[in-house]
Amino acid sequence: MEQCNLTPEDMRRYSRTVMLPEIGEEGQRRLLASRVMVVGAGALGSIVSMYLAGAGVGTIEIADFDTVDLSNLQRQLSFEERNVGEIKVQATALRLRAINSGIRVIAHEEFIRRDRARELFSQADVVVEGSDNPSTKYMVSEVCVELGKACVLGGVAGWRGQVMTWAPGHSSYRDLYPEAADIGGCTPCSQGGVMGPVPGIVGSVQATEVIKLLTKSGTPLFDRLLTFDALDMQFDVFRL
């Protein structure tokens, strides 16, 4: 990761981040020089990618095969009514560029399979798993383990959400959920429903974890699972 110099415009745009002693100018330069791969442009991926764009992650790649549906607007706030029927990654790319014209956004309109994941993940500093497909979560986690790429995984179901972060030497998603892919992790929103703000909370936590990893700030959720229950407004962190 080659760091770049901060321009006067950068200093103004990212001033609130640079003020943080844990990040400062060096951390912001790291963000601008970073490349993040986001799998999924739905409820989680849209929130994560918008915050990463705002933070100044230099290159954001995002992959999804779906189109925007009216039912998405309850929680996927990167989209508007006018986007219904459009390709999600294309609409997301336009939104990210509108937030920050100084970053590079690459859209992949496809369902990412294992071989393609190896190709795309190999170029990333961090991978974000934001799908609602348990089998995809296993695949993303396993390819990241294979490549030694840090990964932040999130899931939502109903009123609940969860986040974990992986890097070499730590517990993986498969360690947490060793069951078959069709019964591990969270139920897809299309089958079990979801409370709209919950993905926003989970996606925000995921984005925070990515920024921490890239700037070497704080303690990521290694060997820990953060869970959130909106009905009881309860956060818990479990050691794995």
Task: Return the active site residues.
Answer: 189
Q: Please, are residues 97 and 50 in contact by the beta-carbon 8 Å criterion? A: no
Phi, psi of 132, deg, nearest 5: -115, 30
Phi-psi region of 161 (alpha: psi -120 to 50; beta: other; left: phi over 0): beta
Q: 39-59 burial, b if ≥16 CB within 10 A, otherwise e?
A: bbbbbbbbbbbbbbbbbbbbb
Q: How far apart are CA 80 and CA 202, in angstroms?
A: 21
Copy the structure tokens of residue 72: 């998405």
